[in-house]
């Protein structure tokens, strides 16, 4: 391609990389930004300029302009990639936004052991090697009533590990109504295949009876598996077999029962005016041999998979070589212990574990927050309205449940909701809202302390940038 004279002239005028670097080093203290970042940013800024010249644009190519571009690159590079966001969606356990927020008590445990040696796998009584589960096993057993417990990296791992231990080469009987797909390619039939178990489906999508399990049981049967339909509900003409019924049949036929609760909870939500979710305690009391559940869904702790059950089965699971590949990290373990300790007093748990606090939050509290938010936005040339809408628990839990919430609809004159959603998302920190009926909406249920001021700042900037 033949370059025009103006293009050649612009390319010649462009400062050299050394000039640019000298200017950057003079401006930015060496301890603030590593040299490698300065160099890469200078190169990228020049490259961007050259590209725009080649494309026929006529950018200003003086040192100041290239420096501005380089500074933008530096800012981006020095900003952490994983960053906090303001969750205004009202979805409490938002998988894409990090699921559960840790309680202060959980964070304290991370701090206490994160930069110090710990007794992670060291038995202080004997001076010999210990098990990492010891930190939480007693607590989990105390809260759930189970005989034995262990924890792994996440619940998907827990399910895989249990199936691999219990049904490799044997049949696992599952109701057709419970062949769940959780987001991110976790599907019961696929996990079964990976674990080397043979899936034997029984019943129909809407109705499965005890006789279906009974008729399907043979010498090849290694497990009755129940899976909580976490992210969908079958309504209408339905019937499912309870854990207790399966346990009774299992005792008779010598088949263990596993219950994957998914978003397991220790709290009976019906005590808080919400629909009852099956609790871990209920499943244990019903006699399930193995119960698996997530640490970061309704439990409100760090990402982890908790397995409770009989000593015999937990011991077999611990010996499975997969356990090593799925083991829980020490920081996670610390946070889990901090979270679990709160469950000894349910009132404390509901107050201090953010997930529980937000799910049990009453509509009146969202109303008060909504009016605080509207108050904070009063001075801005924007329209706000209080809207009676619903928030969701999210995270593949309580799929039918809508939590009545007072939300705030925000309108900027001459700006569409989609455009507003985008600029709010590009704010630092990003503010994530949702759009309903072409209105940009923020739900106070998932806002944290200080978020209202951040939202007001973000909107003030947007207004200012447009004037």
Ligand X SMILES: *Cc1c(COP(=O)(O)O)cnc(C)c1O
Q: Residue numbers of the site for ligand X (CB under 6 A)? A: 154-156, 159, 180, 182, 186, 227-228, 230, 260, 262-263, 294, 305, 396
The residue among 182 and 407 lying less far from ligand X, judged by its C-beta, is 182
Residues in Cβ contact with 263 at an 8 Å cutoff, skipping those fewer than 6 apart:
93, 228, 230, 277, 293, 294, 297, 298, 299, 395, 396, 397, 398
φ, ψ (nearest 5 deg) of residue 200: -115, 105
Check residue 270 and report its DSSP letter. Answer: G
Least separation in angstroms between residue 184's CB and ligand X is 8
Q: Note whether 326 and 130 are within 8 A (CB).
A: no
Least separation in angstroms between residue 139's CB and ligand X is 19
The residue among 90 and 262 lying less far from ligand X, judged by its C-beta, is 262
Q: Note whether 223 and 188 are within 8 A (CB).
A: no
DSSP H helical segments within 17-129, as ranges?
A: 17-27, 35-54, 63-78, 104-114
Neighbours of 239 (CB within 10 A): 14
Least separation in angstroms between residue 263's CB and ligand X is 5
The residue among 227 and 356 lying less far from ligand X, judged by its C-beta, is 227
The residue among 221 and 304 lying less far from ligand X, judged by its C-beta, is 304
The residue among 73 and 392 lying less far from ligand X, judged by its C-beta, is 392
Least separation in angstroms between residue 227's CB and ligand X is 5
Least separation in angstroms between residue 410's CB and ligand X is 32
Check residue 273 and report its DSSP letter. Answer: T
Neighbours of 402 (CB within 10 A): 12
The residue among 256 and 262 lying less far from ligand X, judged by its C-beta, is 262
Check residue 127 and report its DSSP letter. Answer: T
Alpha carbons within 13 A on the beta-carbon side of 377: 28
How far apart are alpha carbons 222 and 12 in whole angstroms?
A: 76
Q: Note whether 323 and 314 are within 8 A (CB).
A: no
The residue among 49 and 290 lying less far from ligand X, judged by its C-beta, is 290
Least separation in angstroms between residue 225's CB and ligand X is 11
Least separation in angstroms between residue 182's CB and ligand X is 4
Least separation in angstroms between residue 190's CB and ligand X is 12
Check residue 182 and report its DSSP letter. Answer: E
- In 140-296, DSSP assigns E strands to 148-152, 171-175, 181-182, 186-187, 198-202, 221-227, 257-262, 290-294
The residue among 65 and 242 lying less far from ligand X, judged by its C-beta, is 242
Q: Note whether 393 and 403 are within 8 A (CB).
A: yes
* CA-based nearest residue to 442, from 383, 361, 398, 387: 387
The residue among 393 and 433 lying less far from ligand X, judged by its C-beta, is 393
Least separation in angstroms between residue 370's CB and ligand X is 31
Residue-wise DSSP of 114-169: HTS---TTEETTTTEE--TTHHHHHHHHHHH--SEEEEES-HHHHHHHHHHHHHTT
Q: Note whether 293 and 150 are within 8 A (CB).
A: no
The residue among 100 and 366 lying less far from ligand X, judged by its C-beta, is 100
The residue among 182 and 377 lying less far from ligand X, judged by its C-beta, is 182
Least separation in angstroms between residue 71's CB and ligand X is 40
The residue among 157 and 409 lying less far from ligand X, judged by its C-beta, is 157
Residue 441 burial by Cβ neighbours in a 10 Å radius (0-12, 13-18, 19+): buried
How far apart are alpha carbons 157 and 161 in whole angstroms?
A: 6
Residue number of the CB closest to ligand X reads 262
How far apart are alpha carbons 174 and 212 in whole angstroms?
A: 10
How far apart are alpha carbons 197 and 182 in whole angstroms?
A: 19
Least separation in angstroms between residue 308's CB and ligand X is 15
């Amino acid at each position: 391609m033949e370059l025009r004279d103006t293009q050649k002239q612009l390319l010649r005028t462009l400062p050299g990389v050394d000039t640019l670097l000298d200017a950057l080093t003079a401006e930015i203290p060496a301890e603030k930004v590593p040299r490698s970042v300065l160099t890469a940013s200078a190169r990228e800024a020049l490259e961007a300029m050259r590209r725009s010249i080649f494309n026929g644009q006529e950018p200003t190519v003086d040192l100041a302009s290239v420096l501005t571009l380089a500074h933008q690159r530096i800012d981006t590079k020095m900003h952490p990639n994983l960053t906090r966001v303001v969750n205004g969606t009202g979805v409490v356990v938002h998988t894409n936004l990090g699921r559960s927020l840790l309680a202060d008590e959980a964070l304290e445990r991370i701090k206490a052991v994160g930069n110090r040696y710990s007794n992670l796998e060291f038995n202080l009584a004997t001076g010999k090697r210990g098990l990492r589960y010891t930190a939480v096993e007693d607590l989990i057993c105390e809260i759930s009533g189970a005989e034995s417990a262990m924890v792994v990296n996440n619940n998907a791992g827990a399910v895989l590990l249990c199936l691999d231990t219990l049904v490799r080469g044997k049949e696992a009987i599952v109701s057709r109504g419970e062949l769940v797909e959780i987001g991110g390619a976790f599907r019961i039939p696929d996990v079964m295949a990976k674990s080397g178990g043979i899936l034997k489906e029984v019943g129909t999508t809407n109705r499965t009876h005890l006789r279906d399990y009974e008729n399907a049981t043979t010498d090849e049967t290694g497990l009755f598996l129940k899976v909580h339909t976490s992210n969908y509900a079958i309504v209408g003409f339905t019937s499912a077999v309870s854990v207790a019924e399966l346990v009774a049949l299992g005792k008779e036929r010598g088949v263990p029962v596993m219950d994957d609760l998914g978003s397991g909870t220790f709290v009976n939500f019906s005590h808080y005016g919400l629909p009852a979710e099956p609790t871990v305690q209920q499943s244990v009391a019903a006699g399930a041999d193995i119960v698996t559940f997530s640490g970061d869904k309704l439990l409100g702790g760090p990402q982890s998979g908790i397995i409770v059950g009989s000593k015999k089965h937990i011991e077999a699971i611990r010996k499975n070589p997969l356990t090593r590949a799925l083991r829980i990290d020490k920081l996670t373990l610390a946070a889990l212990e901090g979270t679990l300790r709160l469950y000894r007093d349910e009132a404390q748990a509901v107050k201090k574990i953010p997930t529980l606090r937000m799910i049990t939050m009453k509509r009146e509290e969202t109303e008060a927050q909504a009016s605080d938010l509207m108050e904070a936005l009063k001075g801005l040339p924007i329209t706000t309205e209080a809207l009676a809408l619903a928030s969701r628990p999210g995270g593949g839990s309580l799929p039918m449940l809508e939590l009545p919430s007072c939300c705030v609809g925000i309108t900027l004159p001459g700006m569409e909701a989609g455009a507003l959603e985008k600029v709010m998302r590009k704010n630092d920190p990003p503010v994530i809202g949702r759009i309903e009926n072409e209105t940009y909406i923020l739900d106070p249920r998932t806002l944290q302390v200080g978020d209202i001021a951040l939202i007001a700042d973000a909107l003030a900037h947007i207004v200012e940038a447009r004037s």
